[in-house]
Amino acid sequence: MAEDMEIDDSLYSRQRYVLGDSAMRRMANSNVLIYGMGGLGIEIAKNVVLAGVKSLTVQDPRTSSVQDLGTNFFIRESDVVASKNRAEACSPHLAELNPYVSIMTMTQPLTTSCDLTYLRNYQCVVLTECPLRIQLQINQFCRASSPQIKFISADVLGIFGMTFVDFGDSFEVFDVNGEEPKDIFVSDITKGNPGIVTCMENRVHGLETGDVVTFREVKGMKAVNGRQFPVKVVNAFAFSIGDTSSAEFEPYIEGGIFTEVKVPKTVSFSSLEQQQLEPSLLTPDLCKFDAPPVLHVAYLSLQSYWEQYGSFPKAWDDVDANKLLSIAKGVNNSLKNKVDDLNENFLQTLSRCCTGCLAPLCAVFGGIVAQEALKALTGKFTPLNQWLYLDASEVVPREDIVNLEQFTPRGDRYDPLRICIGEKRCRTLADTRLFMVGCGAIGCEMLKNYALLGISTGSGKITITDNDLIEKSNLNRQFLFRPNHIQKPKSETAAQAALEINPEMKIEAHQHKVCSETENTVYTDEFFESQDIIVNALDNLEARRYVDGRCVTNQRPLMESGTMGTKGHVQVIVPHVTESYTSQQDPRDEDYPYCTIRSFPSTLEHCIEWARDKFEECFVESAQLFNKFFDTHPDLQAVVQELLSGTSINGAVKVSKLLANQPKSWSDCVALARIRFEKYFNHKAKNLLHAFPADKRLEDGALFWASPKRPPRPLEFDPSDNTHVLFVTTTARLYADIYKVNWTEEDLEWKNIESILSQVHVPEFRPSNKRIVTDDTVSKDAASTQQVSDDVVEEAGLRIQRVCQSGNKSAFNRMCALDFEKDDDSNGHIDFIASVTNLRAQMYNIENGDRLKIKKIAGRIVPAIATTTAAVSGLVTIELIKVLHKAPLEQLKNCFLNLALPVILLSEPGPVTKTVLREGLSVTIWDKWEIRGSPAFTLQNFIDQCKEQFGFEASSVVQGVKIVYMPFMPGHAKKLPLLMKDLLKPSPGQKYTDLIVSFDNDDGDDVPGPPVRYYF
> Residue 901 and residue 63: Cα distance in Å, rounded?
37
HSE-up (13 A, CA, CB side) for residue 787: 3
Best CA proximity match to 305, nearest among 330, 280, 281: 330
* Count of C-beta atoms within a 10 Å radius of residue 596: 20
> Would you mind telling me the total number of residues written for the chain in this entry?
1016
HSE-up (13 A, CA, CB side) for residue 414: 22
Best CA proximity match to 568, nearest among 881, 904, 908: 904
DSSP 680: I
For the question of residue 618 being annotated catalytic, the response is no
**Burial environment of residue 36 by CB neighbours within 10 A (0 to 12, 13 to 18, 19 or more):** buried
> Residue 886 and residue 621: Cα distance in Å, rounded?
51
CB 10 within 8 A of CB 36: no
CB 373 within 8 A of CB 124: yes
Helix axes 750-757, 722-739, angle to 10 degrees: 80
| Pairing of β 171-173 and β 433-437 | unpaired
Residue 1004: C-alpha distances to residues 916, 917, 941, 954, 1011 (Å): 15, 12, 22, 11, 20
CB 73 within 8 A of CB 451: yes
Best CA proximity match to 343, nearest among 327, 328, 359, 362: 328
Sign of the CA dihedral 238, 239, 242, 248? negative
Sign of the CA dihedral 276, 278, 282, 287? positive
Annotated active-site residue in 595, 607, 618, 946: 595
Residue 483: C-alpha distances to residues 97, 447, 476, 560, 794 (Å): 9, 19, 10, 29, 57
Concatenated DSSP letters of 700-769: TS-BSS-TT-----PPPP-TT-HHHHHHHHHHHHHHHHHHT----TGGGSHHHHHHHHTTPPPPPP----
* Count of C-beta atoms within a 10 Å radius of residue 12: 26
Helix axes 415-430, 866-884, angle to 10 degrees: 60
**Which H, E and C letters describe 565-614, residue by residue?**
CCEEEEEEECCCCECCHHHCCCCCCCCCCHHHHHCCCCCHHHHHHHHHHH
Q: What are phi and psi of 926, to 5 degrees?
A: -85, -15
> Residue 18 and residue 567: Cα distance in Å, rounded?
10
CB 67 within 8 A of CB 59: no
Q: What are phi and psi of 805, to 5 degrees?
A: -70, -20
Residue 48: C-alpha distances to residues 94, 296, 452 (Å): 10, 26, 21
Residue 112: C-alpha distances to residues 116, 308, 878 (Å): 10, 16, 36
Exposure string over 746-766, b if 16+ CB within 10 A, otherwise e? ebeeeeebeebbeebeeeebe
Helix (H) or strand (E) holding 636: helix 636-644
Which residues are the active-site residues?
595
